[in-house]
Amino acid sequence: MAMSALVELAAGTMAGVGICLVGHPFDTIKVLLVMQTAENPMYSGMMDAAKKTISSDGVAGLYRGVASPLVGMGLFNAVQFASFTALRKVWTNDGREDTIARIAGAAVCTGAIAALIEGPQDLIKSQMQKQIASAKAAATRGTPAPPAEFASTWDCAKQVVARRGPIGLLQGIVPTIGRNMIGVGSYFVFYEMARRAFTNNYERQPTSLEVLTAGGFGGFMYWMLCYPVDVVKTVMQTEPLDPAKRKFSSSLAAARAVHAAHGWSGFTRGMAPAVARSVPANAVGFVLYEWSKEALSRR
């Protein structure tokens, strides 16, 4: 039992690292698009944001702030995959059928658990990317850039804790939990549905290409179903660390502000890079997870 849990944790870590390395450039672009104002948008779309970022900062600009999610995604996915597997076993013990409904229940609970890790990681990443976006906006306007609030990802984490205590890391946790319950629930359910469809309900083991495709499908459905909540989460997590300086007192207030500024389309701003990121990133992530799990289980 203990060895099985360690295998899940190790395989989940490998999946998280792969997802982060493939997906972070897309995530950077998503934040840039969400952060720009309706009155003076800096970018016309996903490709324009990518070109301008590479032009000004090189390819490395797309990986700004990657340290936090690289560590966080490894830890997050280790917990996510291990929790999901454990909950799935609990809900199907005593010979109960491994139905899609039970998988969905395990996945939704997993999303809520994993949000407690992903929330702080996303907060730090969002604060760092907001700082970059503010500097770019100033350069576009030809005005002096605001002083950098954080020297590095680690400095950002230290300042959050120093100013607000550990509870400060939970800024935006309510929409993070909501997003994850919807997203992670969809993620595992649609991955499992695709695997069953490919293998005629597991009459054989899926090929690597089938796992790749199923993983991409799971990642696609994750963002298609939870993205509006993620927009609210991003707004909450790019608010100032000082509560007295924040515009929004709740997720509902943030959602109303998004709608007031951009209409319903505001809840899909930045969706294209999020979906574009999720398909290849999670395709690679699930393949690395399945390969690692198989290799470690043979030892």
Q: What is the mean pLDDT of residues 169-184?
A: 96
pLDDT over 90 for what percent of the chain?
A: 55
pLDDT digits (tens, 9 = 90+) for 58-112: 888 888 778 777 887 888 899 999 999 999 998 888 778 889 999 999 999 999 9
Q: Which pLDDT score is estimated for 157?
A: 93
The model's confidence at residue 14, banded by pLDDT at 50, 70 and 90, is very high
Structural domain including 72 reads 2-297
Looking at residue 264, which CATH number applies to its domain? 1.50.40.10
Q: What is the pTM of this model?
A: 0.82
The two three-digit tokens of residue 63, written as one number = 């990986």
What is the reported pLDDT for 43? 85
Give the count of domains, the chain: 1
What is the CA angle 285-287-289, rounded to 5? Answer: 70
SS3 state at 180: helix
CA separation for the pair 281, 187 (Å, rounded): 13
Q: How far apart are CA 7 and CA 149, in angstroms?
A: 40
Work out the mean pLDDT of the chain and round it to a whole number: 89
Three-class secondary structure of residue 200 per DSSP: coil
Contacts of 242 (CB under 8 A, 6+ apart): 163
Question: What contacts 275, CB < 8 A, 6 or more positions away?
Answer: 220, 223, 224, 227
Give the residue-averaged pLDDT of 249-261. Answer: 94
Question: Are 174 and 251 within 8 A, CB to CB?
Answer: yes
- At 205-229, the pLDDT tens digits run 999 999 999 999 999 999 999 999 9
- Whether the pLDDT of residue 1 is over 70: the answer is no
**Interval 137-150: pLDDT, tens:** 777 777 777 888 89
Q: What pLDDT sits at residue 26?
A: 83
Query: 198 falls in which pLDDT band (50, 70, 90)?
Result: very high
